[in-house]
């Protein structure tokens, strides 16, 4: 059993023990189901569906379990959201969530767990992407099957969610070049061809579909994504690429899912 399988098995067992009858299902998404998981670069993306509001004392037990298990996870750790079944089907957007965790919030929880439990809830536009990946490519780890819990997210909600993630790419590309370069590719391919791709798949598509002057930039992003070696970036080219891709995304005719039937 490899590291990913071991963590997932322990996560499912402990989630069942803590959530009990509240648990509807546990679903894996992200790189682990899209064929590009890299222990040095990827997080473990999980969505937990429950049938009722979770009391704070149960949330505290759950978070303690997640934080402890996260110490055994890859560097980027576990990322999860807990949502109620009644926001999955019919789909609600922006999507309410009961609890969220990623390593970016680890210090907050460790420093002030009560504050974290009180405040870590609300709505999250990113869940439209997570639901879409689960619906099309996800894996049920425990509980009700995907088609019994989720419905296809509307194109307008999915596109709004992915656009929200890249709309400031011109200003922010150098803060996380690898992620932004590849993400711009997968947003454009959805707008143009209706395909839901991973970052790696998006980068490969970009090599075949964006101007040649940006190929080295995309190849550098792919190399960094596949390894633990930081790339050397041409900043002028990166800013130009971001402007070009955003213009294409804004002005490309929106075909979305229709494109797959052509």
Q: Would you give the distance in Å from CA 31 to the centre of its chain?
A: 8
Residue 163 sits in the same domain as residue 138? no
7: in domain: yes
pLDDT, residue 229, reads 82
Instruction: Please name which of 51, 45, 54 lies closest in space to residue 117, comparing C-alpha atoms.
Output: 54
Indicate whether 26 and 107 sit together in one domain.
yes
Contact 108, 115 (CB under 8 A): yes
- Do 183 and 116 lie in one domain? The reply is no
For residue 153, give the nearest of 170, 132, 173, 139 by alpha carbon: 132
Query: CA 11 to CA 77: how far, in whole Å?
Result: 13
Predicted model pTM: 0.93
* Structural domain that includes position 137: 3-149
- Residues 76/65/129/92 CA torsion (nearest 10 deg): -160
Give yes or no: residues 115 and 203 share one domain: no
Number of structural domains in the chain? 2
> Do 174 and 207 belong to one domain?
yes
What pLDDT was estimated at residue 261?
44
191 falls within a domain: yes
Alpha carbons 153 and 131: distance in angstroms, whole number? 7
In a domain, 125, yes or no: yes
Residues 7 and 132 in one domain: yes
- Residue where a domain stops, chosen among 87, 117, 149: 149
Rounded CA-CA distance 100/83 in Å is 9
Residue 60 located in a structural domain: yes
72 and 184 assigned to the same domain: no
Question: β-strand 99-101 against 95-97: which pairing, if any?
Answer: unpaired
Same domain, 145 and 213: no
Would you say residue 154 lies in a domain? no
pLDDT at residue 77, as a whole number: 96
Measured between alpha carbons, how far is 221 from 84 in angstroms, rounded to an integer? 36
Residue 221 lies in a domain: yes
Looking at the fold, whether 140 and 168 belong to one and the same domain comes out as: no
CATH number at residue 105: 3.30.460.10
H-helix segments, the chain: 3-19, 56-70, 106-111, 113-119, 127-137, 146-149, 155-166, 169-172, 177-193, 199-209, 215-226, 235-251
Provide the 8-state DSSP code for 146. H
Cα–Cα distance, 98 to 83 (Å, whole number): 5
pLDDT at 227: 86
**What is the full per-residue pLDDT of the chain (262 aa) written as tens digits?**
688 999 999 999 999 999 999 999 999 999 999 988 888 778 999 999 999 999 999 999 999 999 999 999 988 899 999 999 999 999 999 999 999 999 999 999 999 999 999 999 999 999 999 999 999 999 999 999 999 999 999 999 999 999 999 999 999 999 999 999 999 999 999 999 999 999 999 999 999 999 999 999 999 999 999 887 888 999 999 999 999 999 999 998 876 555 454 3
Strand-pair partners of 79: 45
50 in the same domain as 163: no
Q: The tokens of 252 are what?
A: 């490309």
Same structural domain for residues 32 and 75? yes
> Which of these three, 149, 174, 207, is where a domain ends?
149
- Domain C-terminal end among 102, 131, 149: 149
Question: Are residues 45 and 129 located together in one domain of the fold?
Answer: yes
How is residue 227 annotated by DSSP? Answer: S
Distance CA 59, CA 25 (A): 16
Q: Is residue 40 part of a domain?
A: yes
Cα separation, 230 vs 5, in Å, equals: 27
């Amino acid at each position: 059993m490899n590291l990913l399988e071991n963590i997932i098995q322990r996560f499912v067992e402990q989630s069942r023990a803590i959530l009990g009858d509240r648990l509807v299902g546990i679903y894996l998404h992200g790189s682990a189901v899209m064929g590009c998981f890299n222990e040095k670069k990827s997080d473990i993306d999980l969505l937990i569906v429950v049938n009722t509001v979770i009391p704070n004392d149960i949330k505290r037990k759950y978070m303690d379990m997640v934080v402890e298990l996260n110490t055994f996870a890859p560097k980027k750790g576990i990322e999860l959201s807990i949502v109620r079944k009644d926001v999955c089907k019919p789909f609600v957007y922006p999507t309410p969530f009961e609890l969220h965790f990623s390593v970016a919030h680890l210090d907050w929880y460790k420093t002030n767990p009560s504050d974290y439990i009180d405040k870590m809830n609300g709505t999250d536009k990113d869940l439209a992407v997570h639901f879409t990946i689960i619906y099309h490519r996800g894996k049920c780890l425990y509980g009700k099957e995907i088609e019994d819990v989720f419905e296809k997210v509307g194109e307008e909600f999915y596109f709004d969610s992915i656009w929200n993630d890249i709309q400031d790419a011109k200003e922010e590309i150098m803060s996380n070049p690898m992620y932004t370069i590849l993400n711009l590719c997968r947003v454009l391919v959805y707008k143009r061809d209706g395909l839901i791709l991973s970052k790696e798949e998006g980068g490969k598509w970009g090599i075949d579909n964006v101007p040649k002057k940006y190929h080295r930039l995309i190849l550098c992003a792919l190399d960094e994504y596949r390894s633990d070696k930081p790339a050397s970036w041409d900043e002028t080219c990166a800013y130009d690429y971001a402007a070009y891709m955003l213009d294409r995304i804004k002005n490309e005719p929106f075909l979305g899912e229709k494109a797959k039937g052509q």
